[in-house]
Amino acid sequence: MTIETIEVEGLSTPVSRIGLGTWAIGGWMWGGTDEKDSIAVIRRALDSGVNLIDTAPAYGFGASEEIVGKALADGYRHKAVIATKVALEWQDGKVFRNASPERIRHEVEDTLRRLRTDYIDLYQVHWPDPLVPIEETAAVLDDLRKEGKVRALGVSNFSAAQMDAFRRVAPLSTTQPPYNLFERDIDRDVLPYVKQHGLVALAYGALCRGLLAGRIGAETRFEGDDLRQHDPKFRAPRRQQYVDAVKALDVFARDNFDKSVLALAVRWVLDRGPTIALWGARRPSQLDGLEAAFGWRLDDKAFAQIDAIVSQFVKDPVGPEFMAPPQRVLVS
């Protein structure tokens, strides 16, 4: 299988245009995890040519990074481009933003230990922190880059103006926004900014929390602490609109490209610009179909037909705003 790659400023290795997303591997908000399966899926991804492994300390309160570290032991580290994040803190199972230089300095050491490595390929600010000037956050991250602990810098969930503020202080290589067939807010400003300034966008939620995999129906149930129990897209009656749209998109994909809706959803992200689609999986079987995303393209006519299908069925659209963590409350 030949996987498309893309150059990322600051990294010497071309990066696969599909990256393995490991939020679910951390277990928290996804109904638990299985370490053996998680290690197996990471190694299968690497053996398949997917070299970007995207993780974060907040994914399972360190669990995801620890599992990634175990998976990359025994000779796998050289195959991987590790993208992790910083600037979220947690207490009593609740996450909030903290992008202070002190927090970042503390976090990077914990992350390096959990990942069992002495450098991070791509270090991303997980969410902007309104209580800390972006310039301060960028400055300490640039220091880490100069010290060799970090190779390249990125941000996540930043606006174009916030990226501008970051870039005034430190080199910025990537941004990581939510982006998929159903969640397209970045088309207005973030994606044009990415194209203008030579960045790369890592699209998280490329399959919209599994909706675009084509296996979720109106009656599908989610157990434990699965975040989809609280996702407005998965609540009646709105869920039926999205399920019907997925069915219609699947018919379109099969009739026009002999592909599944899953392959169509990933290809849609890849053909929107300098993008990488993050593919979440926690069992090896969930990587089946990777190769179907490559070797073909969508043209303007196909984009227009896809837009028409989404508009036909989704009459009450909603974004991913429910996932945003709160900011800290400072006590005077």
Residues with catalytic roles: 59
DSSP secondary structure letter of residue 13: S
Among residues 104, 117, 114, 83, the alpha carbon closest in space to that of 11 is found at 83
Residues 6+ apart with CB under 8 A from 309: 245, 248, 249, 252
| Residues forming beta bridges with residue 95, ordered by sequence position | 90
Angstrom distance (rounded) from CA 268 to CA 296: 11
Among residues 53, 123, 140, 127, the alpha carbon closest in space to that of 88 is found at 127
Q: Are 126 and 85 in contact (CB under 8 A)?
A: yes
What amino acid occupies position 95? Answer: V
Among residues 105, 257, 268, the alpha carbon closest in space to that of 183 is found at 268
DSSP 248-272: HHHHHHHHHHS--HHHHHHHHHHTT
Joined tokens for residue 287 = 């990587």
Joined tokens for residue 135 = 């310039």
Q: ∠ CA 299-174-158 to the nearest 5 degrees?
A: 100
> Hey, is 200 helix, strand or coil?
strand
H/E element holding 279?
A: strand 275-280
**Other beta carbons less than 10 A from residue 129's beta carbon:** 22
H/E element holding 278?
A: strand 275-280
What are the C-alpha distances in Å from 263 to residues 254, 291, 317? 10, 9, 22
Work out whether strand 120-125 and strand 94-97 pair parallel, antiparallel, or are unpaired.
unpaired
